[in-house]
């Protein structure tokens, strides 16, 4: 199987931190002509949409630190609500109304602009030069006309992105947290699953019999393939005996140290006439079962050092491998990976 389309371009970032990765901050439809406030890695952002696309700046006016998100946009320029300085879509200050008409604008008068792009219905932002591309699907299934995609849910959890992602990769909790939904309650022993290190992160797979769900019948042997894309995206690909493929993809947005937004997207090539709500109903039940457990974990941030907490070689293999990957990514201010 070709993995070529998963995260390929990477620039030369010697010691990447979380700021060197793309993270989703919102749905595309959330960015409108007028400014709104967003949050990423503990940094307040302002976003708006102009004729050239989306602009995302630090939510701070360089003059006296007022929030630009309280301002307004005219002709593609954002005006600070305090003294009316105006910034264009790239963050250049183009007007200081308190100076006489025609005065020079100081060169340092700039908004702090970040790289932003729209992909998969979401707005992605990198606070520093990106070390990898926006995560994609293994064979670009999201854009394949044989597949149908939809954003199933958005949820804000009171936890770190690391805890949320590890939970999504961990299948040893299924009989306890999701009995009869994702595993029979007595199927507790975890088989040895090999973790494969890839250029984008990790890959592992296993076959199992699972209870009835919107995408399989009871007793079916289904194959699960997990692809973890650094730092906070996970694709779970489920293949049923008749070749039906469902990707359940978590894109976790690290808004703040103890606050993560979970974007859950489905991409499937079967049951295309069924309403998306059928899948949403199932996954919302599962997510709610996970949320109360993950929000209870202390510390809220995930300890990436394997000296902390206790690890079982076989049942915790995905968590161990994930923490090793996270440990290679640096912190951003207060925000630890």
Binding interface with ligand FES (CB under 6 A): 61, 63-64, 66, 80, 82-85
Residue 264: CB minimum distance to Fe ion, A: 12
Cβ nearer to ligand FES, comparing 106 with 184: 106
Shortest separation between residue 258's beta carbon and ligand FES, angstroms? 29
In the complex with ligand FES, the residue whose CB is nearer, 83 or 285, is 83
Q: What's the gap between Cα 143 and its chain centre?
A: 18
- Per-residue contact flags (x/-) with Fe ion for residues 119 to 158, judged by CB under 5 A: ----------------------------------------
Separation of alpha carbons 263 and 253, rounded Å: 8
Q: Which does 142 bind (CB under 5 to 8 A by kind): Fe ion, ligand FES, none?
A: none
What's the closest the beta carbon of residue 43 comes to ligand FES, in angstroms? 18
How far does Cα 147 stand from its chain's mean position? Answer: 21
Nearer to ligand FES, 66 or 113 (CB): 66
Partner from Fe ion, ligand FES, none contacting 290, C-beta within 5 to 8 A by type: Fe ion
59 binds Fe ion (CB under 5 A): no
CB atoms within 10 A of CB 37: 13
Size of the chain, expressed as the number of residues it contains: 337
List binders of Fe ion among 232-291 (CB under 5 A): 290
Minimum distance of ligand FES from residue 19's CB (angstroms) = 25
Rounded Cα distance, 207 and 238, in Å: 10
For ligand FES, give the closer residue by CB, 85 or 204.
Answer: 85
Contact status: 210 vs Fe ion (CB under 5 A): no
Alpha carbons 263 and 165: distance in angstroms, whole number: 11
| Contact assessment for residue 264 and residue 143, using Cβ atoms and an 8 Å cutoff | no
SS3 250: strand
**316 binding Fe ion? (CB under 5 A):** no
Taking the least distance from each CB to ligand FES, the nearer of 55 and 240 is 55
Question: Which residues neighbour 34 within 8 Å (Cβ) at sequence distance 6 or greater?
Answer: 48, 72, 73
Q: Is 22 exposed, middle or buried (0-12, 13-18, 19+ CB in 10 A)?
A: buried
CA–CA distance from 48 to each of 69, 78, 82, 94, 251 (Å)?
A: 9, 9, 18, 17, 22
Alpha carbon 198 to chain centroid distance? Answer: 19
187 versus 269: smaller Cβ distance to Fe ion: 187
Name the residues that contact Fe ion, by CB under 5 A. 290
């Amino acid at each position: 199987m070709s993995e070529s389309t998963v995260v390929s371009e990477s620039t030369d970032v010697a010691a990447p931190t979380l700021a060197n990765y793309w993270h989703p901050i919102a749905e595309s439809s959330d960015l409108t002509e007028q400014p709104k406030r967003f949050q990423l890695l503990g940094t307040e952002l302002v976003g708006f949409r102009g004729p050239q696309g989306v602009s995302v700046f630090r939510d701070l006016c360089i003059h006296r630190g007022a929030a630009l998100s309280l301002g307004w946009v005219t002709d593609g320029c954002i005006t600070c609500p305090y003294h009316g300085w105006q910034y264009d879509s790239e963050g250049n200050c183009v007007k200081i109304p308190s100076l006489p008409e025609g005065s020079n604008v100081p060169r340092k008068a700039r908004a702090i602009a970040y790289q932003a792009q729209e992909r998969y219905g979401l707005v992605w932002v990198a606070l520093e030069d990106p070390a990898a591309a926006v995560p994609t699907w293994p064979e670009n299934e999201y854009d394949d006309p044989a597949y149908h995609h939809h954003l199933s849910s958005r949820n804000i959890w009171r936890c770190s992105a690391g805890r949320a992602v590890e939970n999504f990769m961990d299948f040893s909790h299924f009989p306890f947290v999701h009995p009869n939904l994702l595993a029979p309650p007595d199927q507790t022993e975890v088989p040895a699953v090999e973790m494969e290190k890839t250029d984008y992160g990790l890959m592992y797979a296993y076959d199992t019999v699972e209870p009835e769900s919107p995408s399989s019948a009871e007793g079916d042997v289904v194959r699960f393939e997990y692809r973890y894309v650094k730092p906070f995206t996970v694709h779970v690909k489920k293949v049923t005996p008749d070749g039906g493929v469902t990707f359940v993809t978590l894109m976790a947005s690290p808004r703040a140290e103890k606050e993560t937004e979970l974007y859950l997207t489905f991409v499937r090539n079967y049951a295309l006439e069924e309403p998306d709500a059928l899948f949403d109903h199932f996954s919302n039940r599962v997510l709610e079962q996970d949320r109360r457990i993950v929000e209870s974990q202390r510390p809220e941030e995930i300890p990436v050092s394997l000296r902390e907490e206790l690890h079982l070689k076989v049942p915790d293999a995905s968590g161990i491998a994930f923490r090793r990957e996270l440990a290679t990514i640096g912190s951003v201010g207060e925000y630890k990976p």
